[in-house]
Amino acid sequence: MTHLSRDRFLRIALWPLAGVALLVLFQGAASRGSEPRESRTAQPASVSTDFAMKQLNGEPLRLSDYHGKVIMVDFWASWCPPCREEIPHFVEWQKQYGGEGLQVIGIAMDDYPADAVKAARELGINYPVVEGNDKIAGEFGGVYGLPFKLVFGRGGEIVARRRGQADLPSLKRLLVTYLSERPPARKP
C-alpha cells in the first residue's frame, strides 16, 4: 500500500511540473518566430500593399492617396477588447497630429461589416476604416493576431510592426519621430 501511495504521490506532483515545462517550451517556440515589438529598421513596402481597399462607407481607399504622410494601419475587430481599448488613443492622435501628416487607417477584420460599422460609430473613429479579410491581411505580409499595426514612413516604407496590444507611449514617440521628418517630393 505504501508503494501505491508513493506512486500516486509522484504522479500528482510531477504532472503539474510537466505541464509547466510544456507551457514554457511552447511559449519559447512561439516567441522565436515573432517579430520584434518595436523596430526602426526600414523595410521597403511592397507595391502590392497599394491595392484598392473598400471602406466601410463603400468608397475605395489606396495607400498612395496618402503619399508623404506617416501612415499607421491598425488591424482590429469589434469583438477584440485590446483593439477597442487602443482605438480611442488613435482617434486622439488623428485629431492631434493629422495636420502634421499622420494618417491612421483602420482595417476591420470582422466577419460582418455591420459589426465594424457599429463599433466605429460607438468608438467615434475619425479616420478611414476598410473592410478587412484574409487576402488584405496577406497583402500586408500576414496578420497573426489582433490587434496588429504597421507604420509607414513618409517615403512609403514600412518602419514598424506591432503585434498585440501596443505600448502606447512608445508607439506615439515612434509616430512623432517620423512626423518630424521632411516629406519626400512627390514623383510625377
Task: Kindly list the averaged pLDDT for each block of 10 residues, start to end, along the chain of length 188.
Answer: 50 52 43 37 44 91 91 97 98 98 97 97 98 90 93 92 96 97 71
3-state class percentages of the chain: helix first, strand second, coil last, to nearest 5: 45, 20, 35
Closest CA relative to residue 77, chosen from 141, 145, 136, 163: 145
Tally Cβ neighbours within 10 Å of residue 147: 24
pLDDT at 49: 59
Provide the 3-class DSSP secondary structure of residue 177: helix
pLDDT at 139: 85
Q: Which three cell numbers stand for residue 148?
A: 496588429
pLDDT at 100: 97
pLDDT at 3: 53
Amino acid making up residue 99: G
Spatial strand order in the sheet of 129-131: 129-131, 102-108, 70-76, 148-152, 158-163
pLDDT at 141: 86
Provide the whole-model pTM: 0.74
- Angstrom CA distances, 125 to 89, 111, 129, stand at 10, 19, 8
Helical pair 113-123 and 81-97, crossing angle rounded to 10 deg: 60
Helical pair 81-97 and 168-179, crossing angle rounded to 10 deg: 30
Distance CA 45, CA 24 (A): 35
pLDDT at 144: 87
